[in-house]
Chain A
Amino acid sequence: MAHKHIQCTVNGQKLSLEVAVGESLLDMLRNRLHLTGTKKGCGVGECGACTVLLDGEAIDSCLFLAVWADGKDIRTIEGESKEGKLSKVQEAFVEEGAVQCGFCTPGFVMSVTALVEKGCQCEREGLKKELSGHMCRCTGYHNIVNAAEKAIGEP
């Protein structure tokens, strides 16, 4: 399989990498950079467990080729807590008990982080729509939406 050279920033760190042309951004993060916080769920863009930020926008990394990350800024869950201190969004998830098994949590946290940073003023129904690309198989949606509400309500 052919390879291409890319340069990108992952969690603030500039990287220069050789990636296979068939490699997904998700596989690049997990297998090459060992950033396993981003989860591999359905692999077809339905569950949202692989959500990362690409230039500040939440996308499914399972349906995104690593070669397309060239020149981009990527953020994963590993970059969200700074010096052992959780981000405001992560704190909100803890406080609202929005975590059960935790598999969906990194994706949800990244989507909510993008909403907070974009200054989202969504009401509850709007938030549900913004988070509709995520699945939580522990059925913890209520607390997750509470956490999102808390995070966007506390600038």
Chain B
Amino acid sequence: MFDIARYDEARSVEEAVALLAANPKARLIAGGTDVLIHIREGKQPEAELVGIRHIPELARIEREADGTLSIGAAATFSRIVADPLISRHVPVLADAVETVGGPQIRRVATIGGNVCNGATSADSASTLFALDAVLQIQGPGGVRLTPIRDFYAGPGRVHLGQAEVLTAIRLAPESYEGYGGHYIKYAMRKAMDIATLGCSVNCKVTGGDRLADVRLAFGVAAPTPVRCLQAEEAVKGKVFSPDVVEAFGHAAAAEINPRTSWRASREFRLHLAKELSKEALVKAYAKAGGIIHGA
């Protein structure tokens, strides 16, 4: 039995916001695969919960007239993996979320929950950073938009007000159209594991072999998911070559500050950052249509 004192099921986002605003102790629960574990561990005694799993608009994945992809925060990972819009426009996101937990978890766990947990290891987060995702948040004062890069406050902490609900994750067309992306999760096992390091690269190629744009993000390289702007700048505009790939890996490792945990040492994570960023860049480049000379 979970220590839950009260549970209210919201039928709309407005109702969820009102329920949260009326009760300062109330917390959101969507898929519940993390929240219920927290409660089981005694971290949230006599929990009072507002459920948002049955609000239809929160599960919607759609492409708006201007090309913006809007992914409902309560869309489950398996729904995202199976979605034709995601597979067509941002297959890297499907690849990333397919590495979460195991199949049973992915049918219940939601992308919004993954982000709002504030975990640096969240498999969706680094790819959403590399996609320049914007979060749509609804609260008592209305709707606000915030870049995902400004959302994380620290380990397990995000800038989400007590009565606010993350409703959708938005990807603008200029952040994904013409890009190729690649995510690598380094973990001890191929399933049912948490990332030792997660690395996501999104890149755009012009003229067949020039890196017009590169975006690199890591999970577990810092207390929150992070972008590596200096590594990106080091290769942007350059013609793709083994030297450029090498420089990218060096710059990435120089820019992050991972810690030692029981999962891996700081040194090992730095090594991983260098190697995974190189591999992810090569694969993202190929997916973006880049030509490998001499291949």
| Residue ranges of A at the interface with B (Cβ–Cβ < 8 Å) | 1-2, 4, 20-24, 27, 43-46, 48, 51, 57-60, 63-65, 67-68, 111, 129-134
Tell me whether B32 and A22 are in contact (CB under 8 A). Answer: no
Residue of B nearest to A62 (CB): B36
Per a CB cutoff under 8 Å, which of B1, B105, B107 touches A23?
A: B1
Chain B positions 253-292 with a Cβ under 8 Å from a chain A Cβ: none
- Say yes or no for B213: interface residue by CB 8 A criterion: no
Is B293 on the interface with A (CB-CB < 8 A)?
no
Determine whether the beta carbon of A132 is less than 8 Å from that of B190: yes
Alpha-carbon distance A2/B32, docked complex (angstroms): 18
Return 7 A-B CB contacts under 8 Å, by A number.
A2-B6, A21-B4, A22-B7, A48-B104, A51-B104, A59-B104, A129-B103
Q: Which 5 A-B pairs have the closest CB atoms?
A: A133-B102, A132-B191, A22-B4, A21-B7, A22-B2
In the complex, whether B227 has a CB less than 8 A from a CB of chain A is: no
Q: Please, which residues of chain A bring their CB within 8 A of the CB of B1? A: 1, 20, 22-24, 27
A133 contacts B104, CB within 8 Å?
Answer: yes
- Residue among B9, B33, B49, B190 making CB contact with A63, cutoff 8 Å: B33
Complex formed: what's the CA distance from A44 to B38 in Å? 10
Residues of A within 8 A of B103 (CB): 58, 111, 129-133
Q: Answer yes or no: B222 CB below 8 A from chain A CBs.
A: no
Decide if A45 touches B40 in the complex (CB within 8 Å).
Answer: no
Binary interface encoding of chain B residues 135-148 relative to chain A, with 1 for a CB under 8 A from any of its CBs, else 0: 00000000000000
Q: State whether B190 touches A60 (Cβ < 8 A).
A: no
Look across to chain A and name the residue whose beta carbon is closest to the beta carbon of B1: A22
For window 9-47 of B, CB contacts with A under 8 Å fall at 9, 32-33, 36-37, 40, 47
State which of B3, B9, B49, B192 has its C-beta within 8 Å of the C-beta of A133.
B192
Please give, as numbers and ranges, the residues of chain A lying within 8 Å of B6 by CB-CB distance: 2, 21
- Say whether B187 faces chain A, with CB atoms less than 8 Å apart: no
Q: CA of A132 to CA of B104 in the docked complex: distance in angstroms?
A: 9
Given contacts A45-B33, A64-B32, A67-B7, contact A59 B53 (CB under 8 A): no
Point out the residue from B7, B36, B108, B191 that lies within 8 Å of A4, measured CB to CB.
B7
Size of the B side of the interface (Cβ < 8 Å), in residues, is 28
Residues of B within 8 A of A24 (CB): 1-2, 36
- Bound complex: CA of A49 vs CA of B201, how far in Å? 36
Query: Which residue of B9, B33, B192 contacts A132 across the interface (Cβ within 8 Å)?
Result: B192
Whether the pair A60, B40 counts as a contact (CB closer than 8 A) is no
Interface centre among B4, B102, B108, B190 (most CB of A within 10 A): B102
Closest-CB distance, A122 to chain B (whole angstroms): 12
Assuming A21-B7, A60-B105, what are 7 further A-B pairs, CB within 8 angstroms?
A1-B5, A22-B3, A22-B4, A22-B47, A57-B78, A64-B32, A132-B192
A2 to B48, CA, bound (A): 10
Q: Cβ of B7 and Cβ of A2 under 8 Å apart?
A: yes
Give the docked Cα–Cα distance between A36 and B49 (Å): 28
Chain B CB within 10 Å — which of A27, A59, A130 has the most?
A59
Q: How far is the CB of A53 from chain B (nearest CB, A)?
A: 10
Interface contact A58-B2, CB-CB below 8 Å: no
List, in ascending order, chain A residues with CB within 8 A of B237's CB.
none
Q: Are A46 and B3 in contact (CB under 8 A)?
A: no
Interface centre among B3, B6, B36, B191 (most CB of A within 10 A): B36
Q: Is the CB of B108 within 8 A of A63?
A: yes
Inter-subunit contact B40/A58 (CB<8 Å):
no
B33 engages A58 (CB within 8 Å):
no
Rounded to whole Å, the gap between the CB of A19 and the closest CB of chain B is: 10
Q: Which residues of A are found within 8 Å of B5, using beta-carbon distances?
A: 1-2, 21-22
Question: Distance (Å) between the CB of A78 and the closest chain B CB?
Answer: 19
